[in-house]
Amino acid sequence: MSPEGRGIAKDSFRILHVSTGNVCRSPITERLTRHALSHRLGGLVTRDLIVESAGTWGHEGAPMEANAAAVLADFGADASGFTGRELLDEHVIRADLVLTATRDHRAQVISMGHSAGLRTFTLKEFTRLVRAIDPATLPPLDDGMAERARALVRAAAALRGWLLAPSPDADEVYDPYGAPITFFRSIGDEINQALEPVVTALTGVPASR
């Protein structure tokens, strides 16, 4: 499949979350993204946005870590039915947006080729860039959520060289693997906070307070 074949259909948009083992950070991010989208859209399931995850050293077929599932339960998100995946070329080719846990993961995705550079960001990097984008410059939702999402990625890529991280660690989500539940919960909070402006930009619907 060529890079031009990204997404299932022209009117869909695929988000790929990437971490190392695909049992902690990326499953949390995947399921929190799905949960937030469903919440903003009134519980409606949309085919416009497809959210999935994989790991650069993914534990193929493994369940997510129990502490990761517990974090999802804290947010009311669904952890059921998850199985880990190793990151493959086809995942990168099909993704319209790749969000990684760390800069190393981002570099690994980009090194795979497939014109991934302009659509691959760390999660926190993408959040920082999205915060700087005026929502009024994005296509209206009447044009379709996928079209709005593509415009958001293009705008973020254009800003990347101008809006740098305040510190080398600012774009990192650290690995909680093997850590106690308290650290998992702090990572879950970090991820949830990073996702909030992204989901708002994608849907045009702010989080309820």
Structure tokens at 180: 């106690």
Q: Give the residue among 188, 207, 209, 153 at the shortest CA–CA distance from 36.
A: 207
What predicted TM-score, i.e. pTM, was given to this entire model?
0.93
**Spatial separation of the C-alpha atoms in residues 124 and 128, rounded to whole Å:** 6
* Secondary structure element (H or E) that encloses residue 107, with its range: helix 103-111
The pLDDT value given to residue 4 = 40
pLDDT in tens, the chain (209 residues): 333 444 444 578 999 999 999 999 999 999 999 999 988 887 655 677 899 999 999 889 999 999 999 999 999 999 999 999 999 999 999 999 999 999 999 999 999 988 999 999 999 999 999 999 999 999 988 888 899 999 999 999 999 988 888 887 999 999 999 999 999 999 999 999 999 999 999 988 887 75
C-alpha torsion sign, points 31, 79, 53, 188 = positive
